[in-house]
């Protein structure tokens, strides 16, 4: 019998959320606390973490953490031990970039792969070490893990890598009852996508290519994270959950054309 309080399905759970100072990570931390969890909120943006902690109170433990640094991730995971151990981890921190391959600065390519793919590996590795058996790990991939966008090679490659990495992690950790799943959001209105909202036509094209006819808010993604973290997804592992309003059934906006229009408008 499931004795979980339906109003607080994450009661007595401790969750690590990376990239918790903004956007999807912030919304996920808020949702988890609402659902009863204690959250270790990890980010490089300490002032954003302070704002989150001031808003949510003692259920949030802010920790400065750079997910590209193994020692930093290990330390963030260790914060959960005195709180009751780690039950949930969300490997969310990430960012995109725009550059055609032939012009791509290689340092920038490495930086995106390091953050979006290696950062997820480090988070899953150390969260799994710290985690109690029977926990839940969630990675944040993207619509771009399956749907290519010209100009976003590093990000698309990293997010596709996250999808496959998640399946391998689910295989390796299943024996401990740890479930590992990915979320693949479509366009979400956050700091990371603010440029899209400034380029004429881009968001309209996103919406036209989204079956449900809108873009997402961070809460839409947090709701899926709460489902995957909680008891109702107890037999879900190795899955990639699209939260994209059906965008994966259509096509990604033509970003090079949009940037070309923008260049023309600036001339
Ligand atoms: N917004 C979207 O449309 C969208 C769509 C698909 C996937 N995603 C993914 O969702 C995740 C969250 O993105 P968002 O839109 O909320 O962006 P955001 O910019 O609002 O938040 C990202 C957070 O990650 C933090 N961060 C950056 N580098 C870090 C590092 N090295 N270590 C720790 N924290 C770091 C930032 O400080 C920031 O607080 C990312 O992985 C992104 O790729 C976003």
CA of 175 to the centre of ligand 1 (A): 30
- What average pLDDT does this structure show over 241-248? 98
Do 90 and 226 touch, CB atoms closer than 8 A? no
Q: How high is the mean pLDDT of the chain?
A: 96
Catalytic residue status for 155 = yes
Give me the mean pLDDT over the 219-234 stretch. 98
What b/e string do you get for 133-150 counting C-beta neighbours within 10 Å, with b at 16 or more?
eebbbbbbbbbbbbbebb
User: What is the distance in A from the centroid of ligand 1 to the CA of 22?
Assistant: 7
- State what percent of residues in the chain have pLDDT above 70: 97
* pLDDT class of 4 with cuts at 50, 70, 90: confident
Given the structure tokens 């270790």, which residue do they identify? 40
DSSP 258: H
Do the domain assignments include residue 7? no
Ligand 1: nearest atom to the Cα of 25: 16
pLDDT, tens digit, for every residue of 116-166? 999 999 999 999 999 989 999 999 999 999 999 999 999 999 999 999 999
- Rounded to an integer, the average pLDDT of 62-70 is 98
**Residue 27 belongs to some domain of the structure:** yes
Q: How many domains does the chain have?
A: 1
Look at residue 209 and tell me if it is in a domain: no
Edge to edge, the sheet with strand 179-185 lists 60-64, 38-43, 14-18, 86-91, 131-140, 179-185, 240-243
Which ranges of 79-152 would DSSP assign to H, the alpha helix?
106-113, 119-130
Please check whether residue 256 lies inside any domain of the structure.
no
Identify the residue whose C-alpha is closest to ligand 1 atom 2.
Answer: 188
What is the per-residue pLDDT for 53?
Answer: 98
Q: What is the pLDDT of residue 259?
A: 87
Condensed to tens digits (0 to 9), the pLDDT of residues 39-48 reads 999 999 999 9
Residue 232 sits in a domain whose CATH number is 3.40.50.720
Confidence band, pLDDT 50/70/90 cuts, at residue 261? confident
State pLDDT tens for residues 165-198: 999 999 999 999 999 999 999 999 999 999 999 9
Q: Is 160 domain-assigned?
A: yes
Q: Is 85 part of any domain?
A: yes
Closest atom, ligand 1, to C-alpha of 45:
37
- What pLDDT is stored for residue 262 in this prediction? 80
Instruction: Name every protein residue with a CB atom under 6 angstroms from any ligand 1 atom.
Output: 18-19, 21-25, 43-45, 48, 65-68, 92-95, 115, 140, 142, 185, 187-188, 190-193
Ligand 1 center to residue 13 CA distance, Å? 23
User: Which residue range is the domain that position 85 belongs to?
Assistant: 14-190+217-251
Q: What pLDDT score does 264 carry?
A: 63
State residue 222's pLDDT score.
Answer: 99
Looking at the DSSP assignment, which residues form a beta bridge with residue 39?
15, 60
Query: How confident is residue 1, by pLDDT bands cut at 50, 70 and 90?
Result: very low
Predicted pLDDT of residue 267: 43
Share of the chain above pLDDT 90, in %: 93
Q: 98, 121, 155, 252: which is the annotated catalytic residue?
A: 155
∠ CA 24-25-26, rounded to 5°: 90
In a domain, 203, yes or no: no
Alpha carbon of 221 to ligand 1 centroid (Å): 12
| Residue 62 placed within a domain | yes
């Amino acid at each position: 019998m499931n004795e979980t309080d339906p109003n607080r399905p994450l009661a007595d759970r401790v969750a690590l959320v990376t990239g918790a100072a903004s956007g999807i990570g912030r919304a996920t931390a808020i949702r988890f606390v609402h659902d009863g969890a204690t959250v270790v909120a990890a980010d490089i943006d300490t002032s954003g973490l302070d704002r989150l902690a001031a808003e949510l109170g003692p259920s949030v433990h802010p920790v400065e953490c750079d997910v590209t640094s193994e020692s930093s991730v290990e330390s963030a995971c260790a914060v959960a031990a005195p709180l009751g151990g780690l039950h949930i981890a969300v490997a969310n921190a990430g960012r995109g970039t725009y550059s055609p391959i032939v012009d791509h600065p290689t340092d920038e390519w490495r930086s995106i792969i390091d953050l979006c793919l290696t950062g997820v590996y480090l988070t899953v590795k150390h969260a799994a070490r710290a985690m109690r058996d029977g926990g839940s790990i969630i990675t944040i991939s993207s619509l771009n893990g399956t749907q290519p966008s010209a100009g976003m090679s590093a990000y698309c490659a990293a997010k596709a890598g996250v999808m496959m990495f998640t399946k391998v992690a689910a295989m390796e950790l299943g024996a401990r009852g740890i479930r590992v799943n990915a979320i693949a959001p479509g366009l979400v209105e956050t700091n990371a996508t603010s440029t899209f909202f400034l380029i004429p036509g881009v968001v309209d094209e996103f919406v036209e290519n989204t079956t449900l006819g809108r873009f997402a808010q961070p809460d839409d993604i947090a709701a899926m994270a709460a489902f995957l973290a909680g008891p109702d997804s107890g037999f879900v592992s190795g899955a990639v959950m699209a939260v994209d309003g059906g965008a994966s059934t259509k096509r990604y906006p033509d970003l090079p054309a949009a940037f070309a229009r923008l260049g023309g408008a600036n001339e």
